[in-house]
């Protein structure tokens, strides 16, 4: 499949406010509402024809930049700057480029401008991450290709050797790697247990919603049949051990796989090693510990890549998430003893592909599967956001992905009925109607991805994807 060059003619943004039905607490932050951003991009080809594509993502506060001095609105404005800056860069390019070179040619400059404004690299990545998805959607719709077919055929024109961005993969056969990927037909939804979540009926808040949906971990397991779990840690050893014991009592008979998420709450490797000692020596946590396959970002980002953690990594695999802020972060982390890295759509699907390629190369050199990519969430919502992320992790071959939006948000209730029904018609296996709204359908802990793999575009199916653009706030 030949890569197609195009101009970026126009990029527009719109926002929809999303209220959480349950508070989502991770680390020191608790989110109860935030905007969801939608991106619409129009591209123009050499023959004058145009195509439109879209993307969507939540604007989660206190994750991209965890500075406590900033309020939520300031966090949102940081992300809006990243979107505006990326739009200006992409639409100003004088020459037609491939989807990949639109990303690669602007990466360094966008990171540099964000740094000059005192913004975190994760913030800088947010703008191009969404715009690149919208551009690929437009390109796929123009070509009549699904995301999986486009990626395996390298419709994007990914050229590692010519980019100057990923020198460690200079000799890697990227086209061959892309061609051998095959999308999965289903994937396990790894259920998030946030720090504010009720474990069972004994600690349900009086303010808990009465919308018919689960308000406890126990009820979520019963309704969705979850077998994969992601458990948040707070950084206080006594509290973490106590909470894990309560969780274990609910999931021990159900759990097939568990991951822990430190969300940067431990000061350094020594602090986390003390927690790990306690966890592994607590008899009631033995079964849970045996099923725990990795720990995500236990150490705060300003310290995580400052010292070797190989000794700790030999006890339990460590994955970087917030520290995966630049294209070379996983290479730095590997040298220090980390073996995993997160795939998160808000950090760029190109980064996910690059890091998956690194895992393939490093594992081939070792002749064993030591390095790995894991699909992680940031309250990804039903609709275009969750569809595009699922298409990505499906094509990458992951067997499970963190999904939390279905628990903290009441499905597509924030969207007009027409939009809900359009998505349900397009993806009848992925969605269902229940408790008054169209929502993600999780059955026996699994998500049905068959419609996503067949849909033209980047998991959208058609231009605009049935989104009610007029019902949103058009911004900047």
As a dihedral over the C-alpha atoms of residue 149, residue 356, residue 132, residue 101, rounded to 10 degrees, the angle is -90
Same domain, 156 and 192: no
Same domain, 168 and 191: no
Q: How far apart are CA 56 and CA 404, in angstroms?
A: 16
Task: With beta carbons less than 8 A apart as the criterion, state whether 172 and 241 touch.
Answer: no
The pair of structure tokens assigned to 52 is: 């439109």
Q: Please list the alpha-helical segments (H only) found in 117-146.
A: 121-143
- Looking at the 3D structure of the chain, how many domains does it have? 2
pLDDT in tens, 416-451: 999 999 999 999 999 999 999 999 999 999 999 999
Q: How far apart are CA 166 and CA 229, in angstroms?
A: 33
Same domain, 156 and 95: yes
**Positive or negative torsion for Cα 463, 468, 473, 474:** positive
CB atoms closer than 10 angstroms to residue 131: 27
Same domain, 125 and 206: no
Same domain, 45 and 15: yes
CATH number at residue 23: 3.30.390.10
CATH number at residue 243: 3.20.20.120
The rounded percent of the chain whose pLDDT value lies above 70 is: 100
pLDDT in tens, 94-152: 999 999 999 999 999 999 999 999 999 999 999 999 999 999 999 999 999 999 999 99
Same domain, 239 and 132: no
Please report whether residue 379 resides in a domain. Answer: yes
Residue 72 Cα to chain centre, angstroms: 20
- The burial of 283, by beta-carbon neighbours within 10 Å (0-12 exposed, 13-18 middle, 19 or more buried), is given as exposed
Please report whether residue 469 resides in a domain. Answer: no
Indicate the pairing of strand 257-261 with strand 228-232: parallel
Same domain, 107 and 191: no
Task: With beta carbons less than 8 A apart as the criterion, state whether 371 and 446 touch.
Answer: no
Please report whether residue 340 resides in a domain. Answer: yes
The rounded percent of the chain whose pLDDT value lies above 90 is: 93
Please report whether residue 112 resides in a domain. Answer: yes
Please report whether residue 73 resides in a domain. Answer: yes
Please report whether residue 460 resides in a domain. Answer: no
pLDDT in tens, 322-373: 999 999 999 999 999 999 999 999 999 999 999 999 999 999 999 999 999 9
HSE-CB for 449 with a 13 A CA cutoff: 30
* Average pLDDT taken over every residue of the chain: 96
Domain end among 137, 172, 207: 172
**Positive or negative torsion for Cα 439, 442, 447, 453:** negative
Q: How far is CA 162 from CA 119, 122, 165, 171, 359, in A?
A: 28, 24, 8, 11, 21
Please report whether residue 250 resides in a domain. Answer: yes
Q: How far apart are CA 7 and CA 93, in angstroms?
A: 8
Q: Going along 45-89, which residue ranges are E strands?
A: 50-58
Q: Annotate 231-255 with DSSP letters as a single string.
A: EE--S-HHHHHHHHHHHHHHHTTT-
pLDDT band at 204 (very low <50, low <70, confident <90, very high): confident
Q: Annotate 376-401 with DSSP letters as a single string.
A: --SSPPTTHHHHHHHHHHHHTT-SEE
The pair of structure tokens assigned to 285 is: 């946590």
Same domain, 137 and 208: no
> Quick one: pLDDT at residue 465?
86
Domain end among 172, 194, 222: 172
Q: How far apart are CA 295 and CA 273, in angstroms?
A: 12
pLDDT in tens, 170-187: 999 999 999 999 999 999
Same domain, 47 and 116: yes
Quickly tell me which residue has 């690059």 as its tokens: 354
Same domain, 244 and 379: yes
Domain ranges, residue 339 = 186-455
- Give the mean model confidence (pLDDT) for residues 34-40: 96
pLDDT band at 476 (very low <50, low <70, confident <90, very high): low
Same domain, 138 and 274: no
Quickly tell me which residue has 């309560």 as its tokens: 246
pLDDT in tens, 145-174: 999 999 999 999 999 987 889 999 999 999
Please report whether residue 347 resides in a domain. Answer: yes
Give the largest CA-CA distance in the chain. 68
As a dihedral over the C-alpha atoms of residue 102, residue 11, residue 450, residue 175, rounded to 10 degrees, the angle is -10
């Amino acid at each position: 499949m030949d890569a197609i060059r195009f101009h970026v003619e126009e990029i527009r943004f719109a926002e929809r406010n999303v209220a959480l039905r349950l508070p989502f607490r991770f680390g020191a932050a608790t989110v109860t509402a935030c905007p969801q951003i939608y991106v619409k991009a129009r591209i123009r080809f050499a023959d004058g024809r145009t195509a439109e594509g879209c993307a969507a993502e939540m604007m989660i506060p206190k994750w991209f930049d965890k500075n406590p001095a900033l309020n939520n609105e300031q966090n949102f404005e940081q992300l809006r700057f990243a979107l505006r800056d990326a739009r200006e860069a992409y639409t100003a390019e004088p020459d037609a480029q491939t989807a990949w070179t639109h990303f690669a040619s602007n990466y360094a400059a966008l990171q540099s401008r964000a740094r000059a404004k005192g913004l975190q690299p994760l913030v800088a990545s947010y703008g191009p991450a969404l715009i690149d998805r919208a551009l690929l959607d437009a390109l796929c719709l123009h070509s009549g290709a699904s995301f999986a077919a486009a990626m395996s055929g390298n419709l994007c024109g990914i050229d590692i050797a010519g980019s100057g961005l990923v020198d460690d993969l200079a000799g890697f056969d990227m086209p061959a790697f892309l061609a051998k990927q095959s999308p999965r037909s289903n994937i396990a939804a790894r259920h998030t247990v946030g720090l504010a979540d009720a474990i069972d009926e004994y600690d349900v808040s009086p303010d808990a919603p009465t919308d018919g949906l689960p308000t406890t971990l126990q009820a979520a397991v019963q309704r969705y049949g979850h077998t994969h779990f992601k458990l948040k840690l707070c950084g206080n050893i006594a509290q973490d051990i106590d909470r894990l014991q309560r969780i274990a009592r609910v999931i021990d008979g159900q759990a097939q796989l568990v991951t822990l998420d430190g969300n940067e709450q431990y000061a350094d490797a020594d602090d986390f090693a003390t927690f790990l000692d306690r966890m592994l020596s607590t008899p009631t946590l033995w079964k849970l510990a045996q099923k725990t396959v990795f720990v995500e970002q236990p150490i705060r980002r300003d310290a995580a890549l400052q010292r070797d953690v190989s000794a700790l990594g030999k006890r339990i695999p460590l994955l970087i998430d917030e520290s995966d802020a630049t294209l070379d972060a996983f290479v730095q982390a590997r040298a220090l003893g980390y073996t995993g890295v997160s795939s998160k759509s808000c950090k760029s699907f190109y980064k996910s592909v690059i890091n998956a390629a690194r895992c393939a190369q490093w594992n081939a050199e070792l002749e064993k599967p030591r390095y790995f990519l894991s699909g992680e969430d940031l309250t990804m919502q039903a609709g275009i956001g969750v569809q595009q992320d699922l298409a990505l992790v499906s094509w990458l071959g992951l067997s499970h992905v963190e999904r939390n939006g279905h628990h903290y948000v009441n499905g597509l209730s924030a969207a007009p009925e027409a939009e809900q029904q359009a998505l349900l018609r397009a993806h009848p296996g992925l969605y269902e109607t229940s408790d008054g709204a169209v929502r993600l359908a999780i059955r026996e802990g699994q998500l049905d991805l068959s419609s996503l793999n067949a849909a033209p575009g980047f998991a959208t199916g058609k231009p605009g994807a049935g989104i009610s653009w007029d019902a949103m706030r058009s911004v900047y």
